[in-house]
Amino acid sequence: MRCLRKLISFRLIVIGHLVAEAKFHSPALRFAAIFSAETTAIEWACQRAVDKWGPPAMQSEDFQFDSTEYYAASMGSALFKRLIAFRRLIDPTDLVRSKQQSNNWELEYKTSFESRVERPINIDPGYLTEAKVVLATMKDRDHRLYLGEGVYGEVTLYYQLPGDWVASRWTYPDYRIDGYHKFFTRCREYLRNCLQKRSPIS
């Protein structure tokens, strides 16, 4: 009987070690990639995002968006993209709501201002952790995970020591350029400083 009790106790200990403990994700840094042929549209979208998501931690220069002709039919030519990151950290699961909000802003701008193109502004929200850059999208692909309410998440870049952002086969061409990587490195440094200070999730 005593041997049986020891055996049962041993099995419980082993099982206990095999059960994974649930851990919550660390706060992430929210950012948005905003592009358009109209500078006024980019400024408008940045202000909308700041009004809703809080003050920016940093913004990039306006990058010339000429790595693909995919958006030419709906958005025109001579496009520019700006990256903006926000001070307040978020729970990564907030990405779904971020995408819904940015979709509403795109529609609001289109219906409020005259434009010569079908889609005058494109706003892609995402988040950054110390390990990766994640973008939200409404389109399903083999490398994207469904997050709910029509929104998918894509790991666009991942961080590899000693300090390089690495692209995957599906990474958008513009996210491969050095200027983007430098911006995301600054974002990563900001995030690390916030986490060390235990900055709260908004």
Residues of the chain with pLDDT under 70: 1-20, 198-202
The one-character DSSP state at 198 is: T
Q: Please report the pLDDT score of residue 163 as a whole number.
A: 84
CB 65 within 8 A of CB 81: yes
Q: Please report the pLDDT score of residue 53 as a whole number.
A: 98
CA distances, 148 to each of 97, 168, 202 (Å):
10, 24, 21
Measured distance CA(166)–CA(51) in Å, rounded: 32
Neighbouring-strand partners of residue 133: 128, 157
Q: Which residue bears the tokens 């909000």?
A: 101
Neighbouring-strand partners of residue 29: 89, 128
Q: Is 107 exposed, middle or buried (0-12, 13-18, 19+ CB in 10 A)?
A: exposed
Structure tokens, 30: 């929210």
pTM of the model: 0.86
Measured distance CA(134)–CA(125) in Å, rounded: 9
Domain over 25-196 is classified CATH 3.90.320: no
**Residues constituting the chain:** 202
